[in-house]
Amino acid sequence: MNGRHAVTGVYCAAATPLKENGDPDLALFADHCGRLLSEGCHGIALLGTTGEANSFSQDERRSILESALAAGIAADRLMPGTGVAAIPETVALTKHALSLGVTKVVMLPPFYYKGVSDDGIYAAYSQILEKIADNRLKVILYHIPQVSGIPLSIPLVKRLAAAFPETIVGIKDSAGDFANMQALVAELPNFSVLAGADPLLLPLLKAGGAGCITATSNLVADSLRLVFDHVSDAAKAAEVEAAQARINAYRTLSNSYVQIPTIKAMVALKRGEDAWFRTRAPLVPLNENERADLAAKFAALD
């Protein structure tokens, strides 16, 4: 927004298309990335929750990232998720990204063991960064406790940001608690606080946040970009509010059924590409009745 954030803008939490045999459809994924950028995204936050990252092997994750680069997507527009349950694998995935010139990553904490202390999470992130030992790296922490079971408390985030100020530069807050985001912005004004929930983009930007990493940008990147670009333009206030309302309508529809299969089904409807309906187990695609209901409601949007 104002140059003080290391990472700022509209990033798409990109969905991952699958072939009939369940393998990632690398060509379609790379094409999707290109279209997202042309529609207004500043970058692609691939291999996150919406991208079903934790259902893919390390080799598959590497190939998905490599496919985007091979298609001509610039390394500085990509921000893969590299945090997994085992520290050595997080290190390996992050080093792989760095070896390709991709320097920004979103990093979950180790998430299998629940009820761990802030000291334990701090130790994990510290060990990861010490093993990587690359001053090019920029890490966005990933706070999604309703899925990971591992909340990143504000004291912990402040401690990590103070210990690694050039590396740990922001957080994706997907908990949906706006008060937590406001507190992070207030206490860490140069830290990139990124909304993980689309309806909070506009209020977060007004509070001094840095942008978003959201699922609905697979569908309405143009509206998210309009909000981001014109949030401070009084002459466009009505346009911004209308864009945010459109974003919210798509987000609400995406919550009609299980969110990730629903987002993918909405992408399938938008693109006319049936590959997007597929999910990897344990997620299951929408059934025929759900798809028909979604299609009718989707057609009524805009």
- Pick the catalytic residue from 142, 250, 264, 297: 142
Contact of 99 with 75, CB cutoff 8 Å:
no
Asked about 250 being catalytic, the answer comes back as no
- Pick the catalytic residue from 172, 250, 257, 264: 172
Centre a 10 Å sphere on the Cβ of residue 181 and count the other Cβ atoms it contains: 25
Contact of 11 with 42, CB cutoff 8 Å:
yes
Q: Does 213 appear as a known binding residue?
A: yes
Cβ neighbors of 63 (< 8 A, separation 6 or more) are 24, 26
DSSP annotation of 81 reads B
Asked about 297 being catalytic, the answer comes back as no
Strand order in the sheet with 192-195: 43-44, 9-12, 211-214, 192-195, 168-173, 138-143, 104-107
Helix (H, G, I), strand (E, B) or coil at 216: coil
Q: Does 73 appear as a known binding residue?
A: no
DSSP E strand stretches across the chain: 9-12, 43-44, 104-107, 138-143, 168-173, 192-195, 211-214
d(CA 133, CA 115): 28
217-230 and 259-271 helices, crossing angle to 10°: 90
Indicate the annotated binding residues for pyruvate. Answer: 50, 213
Indicate the annotated binding residues. Answer: 50, 213
Instruction: Please identify every residue annotated as catalytic.
Output: 142, 172
